[in-house]
Amino acid sequence: MDKKEKILEIKDLCMDFQSGRKEKVRALNHVTLDIYKGENFGLVGESGCGKTTLGRTVIRLYNPTSGEILFNGKSISGKLTKSDRDYITSNLAMIFQDPISSLNPRMTVEEIISEGLKIRGMKDPAQCREVVNNLLNRVGLLPEHATRYPHEFSGGQRQRIGIARALAVKPSFIIADEPVSALDVSIQAQVINLLMDIKKEMDLTILFIAHNLAVVKYFSDRIGVMYFGTLVELADADELYDHPLHPYTKSLLSAIPLPDPLREKDKQRLYYDPAVHDYSTHQPRLQEVRPGHFVYASDPEVEQYRKELEQGK
């Protein structure tokens, strides 16, 4: 994989939400990360840590407070002209978490999938229908399903309709916002495998947001860990699982349930307490501890992490 070509660069991205008259909630706190073309980037963290906000800010459902987002070197943050918006909507697509509420109950499957096409000027109904049928086949549904309404489908089927909708505009980058967390475990694998296949076929880059670490590890090439709006650790998937450095990452990994009841019983859960960091003298920032492995830490902590890695070897 050509790691050099960046498809998405996020620089110092901040996102504040107004809560009340004066108070603000900082959902994203100076997030910086690059996503390379063709990779699966996993983003994990607990509920409310800003994963979804990051995804939605990238596709510009939200207007970022500060910072910059570059897509293929073109800035897509700040004020958008109509052509900028067209550029974003035709290159980025999103798959949503909830298969029930992400499909409009008043539209048929065909209308849902073909909407993006129609906006892009595909007026010919026969042509639209053909594209829709191909997409439906691709996601394992039948062309006969096109005239149905979403409520007639199961959760997994609906999620696949959502995937078909995202693929209809032929994007190069897909933000998958917890696409499997609302699904049954048996369906999760089905949808994940489908995503993997389609990714290979269409040469996509995927930002995969999830809180299920097992799924993320299976799916992702690189993984970013977020904690309260801050990206605390970023590394290759195997590296992160084998050598977690940040205490929050360690705590997350210790929470993965083991499929062996005897070991699960003896498992030691680690709890993360932000008070372990002493940031009074040295300010923390995202630093590269070893090539490709970034940790949000202050200088003394980085020294300590490096030592830890040495010993680990």
Partner 1 sequence: MVLYENNKEKYDSIPKEKFVQVQKDQEIHDVDFKTKPIGFFMDVWLRFVKNKASVIAAVIIFILSIFAIAGPSMSDYRYDEQHPELVNMPPKIPAIAKMNLGIFDGAYLLENRQYDNLSDPEKYPEGCVLEILNPRLVNGQRIVDVYVDYYKYMGLEDEDCYWLGSDYLGRDIWTRLWRGTRVSLLIAVISVCCNVFIGVIYGSISGYYGGKVDMVMMRITEIISAFPRIVVVTLFIMVAGTGMFSIIMSLVIKDWVDTARMVRAQFYRFKGREYVLAARTLGVPDMLLIFRHILPNSIGPIITSSMIAIPSAIFSESFLAYIGLGLQAPEPSLGVMLSRGQKVLLYFPSQLVFPAIVISLLMISFNLFGNGLRDAFDPTLRGAE
Residues 6+ apart with CB under 8 A from 278: 298
Task: Tell me the CA distances in angstroms from 75 to 70, 71, 80, one per residue in order.
Answer: 4, 6, 10
Residue 142 in contact with partner 1, rule: CB under 8 A: yes
Q: Min. distance of Cβ 279 from partner 1 in angstroms?
A: 36
For the CB of residue 206, give the shortest distance to partner 1 in the complex, in Å.
15
173 binds partner 1 (CB under 8 A): no
* Length, in residues, of the chain: 313
For partner 1, the closer of residues 170 and 211 by Cβ is: 170
> Given the structure tokens 């932000």, which residue do they identify?
274
- Pick out residues in 90-119 that bind partner 1 (CB under 8 A): 90, 92-94, 96-98, 101-108, 115-116, 119
CA distances from 66 to 12, 31, 136, 147 (A): 7, 10, 40, 44
Q: Which of 72, 89, 172, 181 binds partner 1 (CB under 8 A)?
A: 89
201 binds partner 1 (CB under 8 A): no
230 vs 30, 31, 84, 141, 277, CA distance in Å? 7, 6, 28, 39, 14
71: amino acid identity, one letter: F
CB of 177 vs partner 1, minimal distance in Å: 9
Does position 85 interact with partner 1 (CB under 8 A)? The reply is yes
Residues in contact with partner 1 by CB under 8 A are 56, 59, 61, 85-86, 88-90, 92-94, 96-98, 101-108, 115-116, 119-120, 140-142, 144-145, 147-149, 152, 157, 160, 162, 165, 169, 189-190, 194, 260-263
